[in-house]
Amino acid sequence: MSEFLSDKPIPPRDRLIVALDVADAAAARALVTELGDAVSFYKIGLELFMAGGYFELLQWLTAQGKKVFVDLKFFDVPETVRSAVRALAGSGATFATVHGNQAIMEAAVRDKGDLKILAVTVLTSLDRGDLDDLGFACDVDKLVLSRARRALETGVDGIVSSGLEAPMIRRELGQRLLVVTPGIRPVENKPADDQKRTVDVAQAFSNGADYIVVGRPIRQAADPRQAAEAVQATIAGVFR
């Protein structure tokens, strides 16, 4: 058993979060219906927000007994972020994301209620070259750890982090933060994939993830439900 394996009392089947990165709410509902009880947790992000019907979809998901991760990555004047989080807190969502700026994180936790706030460390679509372009004169792992420490200090519930940096976070900060890992690729990454810092399902959990976010490997599978159940079987094996 990995020394970094999550010790939190999370039902294994809730540890898979499927990203509903589809064109509109109707397509999202169709995919959720197809996946049925294979998936209990969904992420709804910016594409759906711009397509319309976002909050109606959120309400529909919670009415189906699903958990919802609102992934809008709030990044604005702290008071605006605080107001946005306060408005979201009564929606039934389980998670919401903010960018890892300290003042924004402090504002986000002020009126969050039962909503769990996740701070984005470094997007999994970025690598060392991208950080150079953005003016960050440090390695990816140092930036991730710095933001994770600040998240812990400000009372944020967890972070969004690549599975590659998760062991470092667990080594330095223990199990005190939730770690949600996107960029999961069950097979070797394709050259055209925009996710650069990826791991597979078992490795993500061995490295310290509490939850994983999976999108295209399930959504684009020939049989999405079968693909989701395969991921669930791997998770069940890890947490046996």
Each residue's pLDDT tens digit, 161-184? 888 889 999 999 999 999 999 988
Q: The CATH number of the domain where 42 resides is what?
A: 3.20.20.70
In a domain, 26, yes or no: yes
In a domain, 3, yes or no: no
Domain that holds residue 24: 12-238
State how far the alpha carbon of 19 is from the alpha carbons of 95, 151, 193, 227, in Å.
13, 24, 16, 14
φ, ψ for residue 70, nearest 5 deg: -85, 105
In a domain, 219, yes or no: yes
Question: Taking 60 as the threshold, does the pLDDT of residue 205 lie above it?
Answer: yes
Report how far residue 55's alpha carbon sits from residue 38's, in angstroms, rounded to the nearest whole number: 23
In a domain, 62, yes or no: yes
| Catalytic sites, residue numbers | 73
pLDDT at position 142, please?
76
Mean pLDDT of the chain: 88
Q: Give me the number of domains the chain comprises.
A: 1
In a domain, 200, yes or no: yes
In a domain, 104, yes or no: yes
pLDDT at position 147, please?
84
Question: Taking 90 as the threshold, does the pLDDT of residue 220 lie above it?
Answer: yes
Q: Are 193 and 162 in contact (CB under 8 A)?
A: no
Note the pTM of the prediction, 2 decimals. 0.89
Structure-block tokens of residue 157: 């519930």
State how far the alpha carbon of 155 is from the alpha carbons of 18, 70, 85, 119, 218, in Å.
26, 19, 14, 10, 33
The least confident of 36-45, 129-138, 170-179 is 129-138
Structure-block tokens of residue 7: 């010790």
Report how far residue 170's alpha carbon sits from residue 150's, in angstroms, rounded to the nearest whole number: 15
In a domain, 204, yes or no: yes
In a domain, 4, yes or no: no
* 171 compared with 123, residue with greater pLDDT: 171
